[in-house]
Structure 1
Amino acid sequence: MMTPAALARFNPAQPGATGMKIAATGLLVLMAATFVATRMLEPAYPWLGYVKAFSEAAMVGGLADWFAVTALFRHPLGLPIPHTAIIPRNKDRIGEALAAFINENFLVPSVVARRMRNIDVAGAAGRFLRTPAAEGTRIRQGASRLIADIFEGLDDERLGGIVKGAIAGRIEKMEVAPLLGHALASAINEDRHVPMLEAAIRWMARALEANEELIRAMVHKKANWALKLAGLDAKLADAILDGLRKLTAEMSTDPAHPVRMKVEEALAQLANDLQMNPDTRAKVEEMKEQLLANRSVALWIDTLWQKGREAIIRAARNPDAALAGRLGEVLRSMGASLEQDPRIRAAINQFVRRAAAGTAQSYGSSIVKLVSETIRSWDARTVTARLEAAVGRDLQYIRINGTLVGGLVGIVIHALDSL
């Protein structure tokens, strides 16, 4: 628990409060000295009666305000006068009243929503993303350093294990067959499979040329002795190779080739089976589990995590360079959209309002309880020191004003009495 002395050193408002306290006390002492001097000199200089009246009334006003200010925080002169040391004696009630005030004026969902109705969060975010000011740059750089420090400071093995486990667990729970089927069906409907099919045909042609000798050897090995004796095995191999070359050439140039149509029908059937056929989906799930159990896949996920982590740290360490590239263009484009598109801005602002109101409704009671219990847990000296440090400067102004106003009232009364 912090002592009042420690709080005085900690709170930046305390030095100003201390200076004002010295000024108020000094003014009170000056009024007392002035009263004594004018009382002694008044018989010789009758006009000093006004000065004496001012200083006398100022002493009364200053002492009264000193008593009132002091009675808020402690017993004046250490005397247990009734209704003094108000704050220490009622700290629990003050905590409950403060918590109730926060709850009734700030944490009511309707109040939060009404206060946020005039706050354009999306517009502010758009302006920040499109043309970040110097303050925004400092905020971005500070946030970037924080992100980089967090990623570098966390246990890489443990954090990496959590991330990789989450990725693997997500893939394991996800049924990939329908997704693959839907993707394949969309590609076929939009003719995005054609380049892949043509690339496969070209690959077949290159593979045929590269393995010509292997095909001839296979034909020679499978031919019987009569074909070999007549030398027909070589002609048979030439015929097979010529037929395969002609087939690949025709498939490459003719989109309506029967074999090519059969391949497309097979792809369409595969897309349908991946989405609808339970046996096909079960086979794909089995293949997925085998892949996840493969050590090579685990190493691939590990490499993916390491590269992602390094990229995040590298971008965070140099946010200006990262934002100067494609990412910067995307963010600036997002900022322009947020500023110019009223529908997007309205949707985001509505989401923020609902989120804030929902937070107030869900956690408002917890926040109120935290405030009241925190103040209740403080001892009386801590509460007194913190409140006095926060408002002490203004309270000393009250003492000074009371001294001066009392003096002016004293002059008025003396003048009326003289008349």
Structure 2
Amino acid sequence: MTLLRLPRSASAVQPHPARRMRLVATGMLIAMAALFAAARAAAHLHPAIGFVQAFAEAAMVGGLADWFAVTALFRHPMGLPIPHTAIIPRNKDRIGDTLAVFLRDNFLTPAVVARRMRHMDVAAAAGRFLASPSGGDGRLREGASRLAADILEALGQERLGGMVKGAIGQRLRAIDMAPLIGQAIEAAMRDGRHAPVMDAVIGWADRALEANEHLIRQMVHERAGKVLRWTGLDENLANAILSGLRKMLADMAADPEHGFRLKAEEGMAKLAADLQFDPDMKAKVAKVRDEILDNPAMQRWIEGMWEQARAGLLRAVRDPGKAMAGRFGEALRALGGTLQQEARLRIVINRFVRRAAVGATASYGDAIVRLVSDTVRGWDAGTVTTRLEQAVGRDLQYIRINGTLVGGLVGLAIHMIDTLL
């Protein structure tokens, strides 16, 4: 019967590079010991064998010395508590602090970040990605999409929604609406944009008068005396009132300089000034704003707006290719093209990104440094030793190999000089 064997993983088949190089260096040391023993036993056969013996002897000394030096960095050689060995485990806290200081002084200072960001064109890179998103690294895009989706789903609707709705409410409550409304009215009147509004109000009043003509006639009839009703003069009075109102509205619509119209504009100008400078008017507008925001209907509207935005974000991050295919994608691609073509816009965006990065470094640089230091301090000695040895151990084993070869060559040179002299 043939047994099926499942293939082992690459990590199970091949040892770690540092471990493999350690085996090579140790194998060279053993080979030099065997060569020394063989040459010593056969030294009487020929004088040239003495050169081999000298090479092997010096190679063993060099290899052993470098083995001791490399091993002493990470642990006690042969488990013996020799002074000044196991240097990294004994000094891991100082190493973490030194690494943190190095990061702070060379990478996480506002001056260094500003200098490095000055040579980065973030806006152009974003423009190239937006203009041609399919040309980027697909794995990076998919990984970022999955990360964004996981974050949105992990926070949940209530938690993230509460944060967003609370932030929206705070921002709206922080806005002083009265001066904004007053400035808008003042600017509209200065540019003459209020005239269509006045015309619309006059037209609405004319239509309202026509639709409620019977109510005016009834009101005049009820308030007229018996004599007027008996003689029918109440009907004439109602007709005169309606005719006068129609004529006034027609004159206001036709004449921009009509007295009533100028009075209305004067009232609008006063309202604009009060909204900007009158504390009582500002307080009234703020009260109305808060009442609107506290209204359950407004809360439901904000909640619905957030849910729609969240659903759209989830659809976009789950399927970025589909999101980029619609009008939203067209807008993003157009934005990417604009970023690549408009130098002024790139300058503004790059300046904003640089200031944001510098500000974040100034605010959180020390926290990042403390995080690095505390993380290293939290590692146990075995973790520090293993991670550093895996990172640089392969090169350290080359030191052992070079020490073995160089020691052997030095021993060979000394033996040659001794023989010649």
TM over 0.5: yes
Counting aligned pairs with the same residue, the percent is 58
Instruction: Tell me the amino acid that sits aligned with residue 56 of structure 1.
Output: E
What is the alpha-carbon root mean square deviation over aligned residues?
3.7
Name the structure 1 match of 2:153: 152
Q: Match for 1:93: what amino acid?
A: R
Q: Distance in 1 between matches of 2:137 and 2:198?
A: 51
How far apart, in 2, do the equivalents of 1:303 and 1:371 lie?
42
Contact map agreement 2:178 2:285 (CA 8 A) in 1? yes
Equivalent residue, structure 2, for 1:4 = none
Q: Using the alignment, how far apart are the partners of 1:338 and 1:418 within structure 2?
A: 77
| Alpha-carbon shift at residue 358 of structure 1 (Å) | 4.9
1:85 match: 86
Distance 1:316 1:89, change over 3 A: closer
Aligned residue in 2 for 1:387? 388
Bigger CA drift: 118-127 or 70-79?
A: 118-127
TM-score where L is the length of structure 1 = 0.79
Partners of 1:39 and 1:194 in 2: how far apart? 114
Residues matched between the structures, number: 409
- After superposition, what is the alpha-carbon deviation per residue over 1:188-213, rounded to whole angstroms, capped at 9, x for unaligned? 21222233333333333333443344
> Residues 48 and 117 of structure 1: is their aligned pair in 2 closer, same or farther, counting only changes over 3 Å?
same
Indicate the residue corresponding to 2:34 in structure 1. Answer: 33
2 CA distance for matches of 1:241 and 1:141?
A: 72
Query: Please, which runs of 5 or more residues in structure 1 have no aligned partner?
Result: 1-9
For 1:403, give the aligned amino acid: T
Task: Verify: 1:274 aligned to 2:275, yes or no.
Answer: yes
Using the size of structure 2 for normalisation, the TM-score is 0.79
Q: Quick one: distance in 1 between partners of 2:26 and 2:15?
A: 16
Q: Deviations over 1:213-253 (max 9, x none)?
A: 44444444444444444445455545544444444444444
Distance in 2, matches of 1:216 and 1:137, equals: 77
User: How far apart in 1 are the matches of 2:170 and 2:198?
Assistant: 33
Partner in structure 2 of residue 61 of structure 1 = 62
Question: 1:18 matched to which residue of 2?
Answer: 19
* CA-CA distance at 1:17 after TM superposition: 0.8
1:108: Cα distance to partner? 4.2
> Which residue of 1 is the match for residue 203 of structure 2?
202
Amino acid across the alignment from 1:79 = L
Per the alignment, residue 103 of structure 2 pairs with 102
Alignment partner of 2:136: what SS?
Answer: helix
Matches within 5 A, 1:97-136: 97-132=98-133, 134-135=135-136
Deviation at 1:394, TM superposition (A): 0.8
- What residue is the counterpart of 1:255 in the other structure? 256
* Structure 2 CA distance for partners of 1:102 and 1:151, relative to 1, 3 Å: closer
Deviation readout 1:39-74 (Å, 9 max, x if unpaired): 445555665555444433333322222122112222
Measure how far apart 1:390 and its partner are.
Answer: 1.4
Q: Is the 8 A contact 1:14 1:390 kept in 2?
A: no
- Describe the superposition over 1:295-320 as per-residue Cα deviations: whole angstroms up to 9, x where unpaired: 33333343343344334434444444
Q: Give the direction of change, closer, same or farther, for the CA distance of 1:37–1:183 in structure 2 (3 Å limit).
A: same
Q: Is the contact between residue 129 and residue 136 of structure 2 (CA under 8 Å) also seen in structure 1?
A: no
Residues in 1 aligned to 2:193 and 2:314: alpha-carbon distance in whole angstroms: 37
Q: Is the 8 A contact 2:129 2:135 kept in 1?
A: no
Q: Deviations over 1:250-294 (max 9, x none)?
A: 444443444333332222222122223344334434434444454
Name the counterpart of 2:183. 182
Unaligned runs of 5+ in 2: 1-10
Task: Name the residue aligned to 2:6.
Answer: none
